[in-house]
Amino acid sequence: MIQVEDAVDQAVVAKFYEAGQEHLFADWQQLESPHRRTLLEDLHQIDLGLLQQLIRDHLDSDATQAPIAAPTPPRWIPLGDPTRKGADQAGLETLRRGEVAVLLVAGGVGTRLGHPGPKGAFPLLPSSGATLFQIFAESICRLQKQLGKNIHWLIMTSPSNHEETVEYFRQHSYHGLFPSEVSILPQHQLPVLDPRRGKILRSDPGHVLFAPDGHGGAIRLLQRESKRLRDRGIRHIYTHQVDNPLAWIADPELLGLHLAESSQFTSKAVAKTDPEEKVGIFCKVGDRMRVIEYSELGESDRHARDENGELSFRAGNIATHVIDLDFIAPAGENEALQLPFHQASKSVRHWRDGRWQQAEQPNSVRFETFLFDVLPLCQRALVVEADRELEFAPVKNGTGVDSPDTSRAAMQKLWTRWLLEAGVELTLNEEGIPDRTVEISPLVAGNAEELKKYLADVELPVEGPILLR
């Protein structure tokens, strides 16, 4: 065993030897002093007990995942359902009482979009240059003004984009929000392993190779922050993903339905029309709700249709949820809810035996959790249909489907719809896009009714872009 000066460091070194991870120190004598220091600092961060359990459960075990029992279409509340009438009032009341925090899952980077920084800092709107972060912040600003109450905003980053995200908000003065109401917090990360040996990999001579623990890390983050949130009077968490600029922030109707059904976990879903659309599907397995990948459905189930000719399994997950804080992080002595881990294999460049290692085939495994894995643990879960045209325009790819171009087009269509309902005359092409650029800031309006009120005191230009900020 190598010897180090500090007793605390020596104890950590001993634990990694005992755990069969002594390869981490094979080139210790060749490492420069700064590399030794940073490597030890990384080892201090690792929950070795959890890591050993994951190795036993996923790498050392021959057990295969149990097949999913026959799924059935879920109960959901469709658009136009009479139970939705008036639900928004209860949602507004819980917002006014300060019982709702918003959690933005924003750990991604903009590599696929050709953007070097956090995905949330991607300038989506061409006229104003408004970023995804700005769109969400302005939505919260508008809602706070309507409520006369501040809303606490949690932003979950990953270690790879945390510092850049913090700096972004500092440089942009939090887009008008009080800094004390914005908590930017990194999600947990776990070491990446060699899949054959269960050995921890290194990203360079002085660092362990880490990976974020998936979007399910939001649950762990909320558990970590639960006391602070409770002290602020927060009972419900409204969460959504950074890549959907049409996400309806703190939708009062969804909150009201969540309360009316005494739900522990409530989700929005859009209706699939294409059985091959690659989106997770809500279904019932036994007496519990869950999300399964479309590929996990048999072909007959994927194409099955109900008496109205619609897909039987059509409730597509758009990653917008309301979560009860007491459910995921019970107050007092009760044990906090735990999510299962999944393993993902990737090819990564890493440092081993004093040199760089690279392979075309997957040569590493990482462990992650999924937020929707909360569902099978719920006694009371609810799915509510959302209008795809109003609430879902993801930005995932640089070109093609779910790209900035398709997202902008969806936003143009939505804003055009609002303008037409407000009595504004526009010339549209066959796809419903106007011959004038339209951009409406969330500070101005969040729906057609709000825009109509705003336009009562505003004269729009006869020609050229319509830019309302």
CATH of the domain at 155: 3.90.550.10
Per residue in 73-123, pLDDT (tens digit) is: 999 999 999 999 999 999 999 999 999 999 999 999 999 999 999 999 999
Residue 63: predicted pLDDT: 53
CA dist., res. 466 & res. 469, Å (int): 10
Q: Is residue 307 part of a domain?
A: yes
pLDDT at residue 26 greater than cutoff 90: yes
pLDDT at residue 68 greater than cutoff 60: yes
CA dist., res. 38 & res. 8, Å (int): 15
- Give the H/E segment covering residue 266: strand 265-271
Same domain, yes or no: 53 and 129: no
CA dist., res. 221 & res. 1, Å (int): 36
Share of the chain above pLDDT 90, in %: 87
Q: Is residue 1 part of a domain?
A: no
Residue 432: predicted pLDDT: 83
Q: Is residue 34 part of a domain?
A: yes
Residue 206: predicted pLDDT: 96
Neighbours of 201 (CB within 10 A): 24
Same domain, yes or no: 104 and 204: yes
Same domain, yes or no: 113 and 226: yes
The answer to which of 10-14, 233-237, 358-362, 451-455 has the lowest mean pLDDT is 358-362
Same domain, yes or no: 48 and 95: no
CA dist., res. 315 & res. 328, Å (int): 24
Same domain, yes or no: 200 and 337: yes
Residue 82 token pair? 């009479």
Q: How many helices (H) and strands (E) does the chain have?
A: 13, 19
DSSP 371-413: GGGGGGG-SSEEEEE--HHHH-----SSSSTTSHHHHHHHHHH
8 A C-beta contact, residue 103 and residue 218: yes
Residue 235 token pair? 């009972």
Same domain, yes or no: 241 and 387: yes
CA dist., res. 103 & res. 237, Å (int): 7
How many domains would you assign to the chain? Answer: 3
How far CA 267 is from CA of 1, 88, 323, in Å, comes to 51, 16, 9
Task: Band the pLDDT of 166: cuts 50, 70, 90.
Answer: very high
Among candidates 210, 164, 182, 187, which has minimal Cα distance to 38? 210
pLDDT at residue 66 greater than cutoff 90: no
CA dist., res. 229 & res. 326, Å (int): 11
Same domain, yes or no: 33 and 91: no
How much is the pTM? 0.94
Task: Band the pLDDT of 222: cuts 50, 70, 90.
Answer: very high
Phi-psi region of 42 (alpha: psi -120 to 50; beta: other; left: phi over 0): alpha
Same domain, yes or no: 130 and 198: yes
pLDDT at residue 67 greater than cutoff 60: no
Per residue in 340-366, pLDDT (tens digit) is: 999 999 999 999 888 898 888 999 999
Same domain, yes or no: 156 and 245: yes
Mean pLDDT of 212-237: 96
Pairing of strands 202-204, 189-191: unpaired
Question: 67: helix, coil or strand?
Answer: coil
Residue 310: predicted pLDDT: 94
Mean pLDDT of 145-173: 97
Q: Is residue 220 part of a domain?
A: yes
Same domain, yes or no: 50 and 90: no
Cα dihedral: 13, 18, 19, 23 (round 10): 60
The answer to which of 200-214, 235-249, 304-318, 349-363 has the lowest mean pLDDT is 349-363
pLDDT at residue 334 greater than cutoff 70: no
Per residue in 413-434, pLDDT (tens digit) is: 999 999 999 999 999 988 888 8
Q: Is residue 72 part of a domain?
A: no
Mean pLDDT of 153-182: 98
Q: Is residue 75 part of a domain?
A: no
Same domain, yes or no: 211 and 306: yes
Same domain, yes or no: 135 and 243: yes
Please, what is the average pLDDT of the chain? 94
Residue 335: predicted pLDDT: 67
Domain residues for 239? 82-396
8 A C-beta contact, residue 201 and residue 194: yes
Among candidates 404, 382, 385, 387, which has minimal Cα distance to 395? 404
Q: Is residue 106 part of a domain?
A: yes
